[in-house]
Amino acid sequence: MKDSKPKKKSGYGKSIVISVILHALLLIALVWGADFTMSKPEPSGKMVQAVVIDPSLVRQQAQQIRSQREAAAKKEQERLDKLRRESEQLEKNRKAEEERIRKLKEQQALEAKAAREAEKARQEKEKERKAAELRVRQEKERAAKLEAERKAKEAAVAKAEKERIAREKAAQKAEKERIAKEKAAKEAAEKARKEKQRLERLERERKEQEAALNNIFSGLETEVEQNSAAQSQFLADERSRFIEKYRIAIEQNLLKEDAFFGKECVLNIQLIPTGDYKAIVSSAKVVAGDTSLCRAAKAAIVQAKEFDFPKEAQLQREFRDFNFRFKL
- Is the separation of the CB atoms in 328 and 293 below 8 Å? yes
Q: What share of the chain in percent tops pLDDT 90?
A: 26
Indicate the residue type of 162. Answer: K
Selected residue with higher pLDDT from 60 and 227: 60
Indicate the residue type of 73. Answer: A
- CB within 8 A of 326, min separation 6: which ones? 247, 250, 264, 265, 266, 267, 289, 293, 297
Given this model, what pLDDT does residue 95 score? 93
d(CA 324, CA 301): 11
Residue 29 confidence (pLDDT) above 70: no
Given this model, what pLDDT does residue 40 score? 45
DSSP string, 36-71: ----PPPPTTSPPPPP---HHHHHHHHHHHHHHHHH
pLDDT tens by residue, 141-186? 988 888 999 999 888 888 989 889 988 888 888 888 888 988 888 8
Angle between helices 174-216 and 223-252 (to 10 degrees): 160
- CB within 8 A of 247, min separation 6: which ones? 326
- CB within 8 A of 259, min separation 6: which ones? 149, 152, 292
Instruction: Decide: pTM greater than 0.85.
Output: no
d(CA 323, CA 237): 17
Given this model, what pLDDT does residue 48 score? 46
d(CA 172, CA 110): 61
Selected residue with higher pLDDT from 26 and 281: 281
pLDDT tens by residue, 83-93? 999 989 999 99
**For 53, phi and psi rounded to 5 degrees?**
-95, 125
Q: Is 194 exposed, middle or buried (0-12, 13-18, 19+ CB in 10 A)?
A: exposed
Integer CA distances (angstroms), 152 to 167, 216, 236, 290, 326, in order = 24, 51, 39, 16, 21
Could you give the angle at the alpha carbon of 203 between the alpha carbons of 197 and 208, nearest 5°?
A: 130
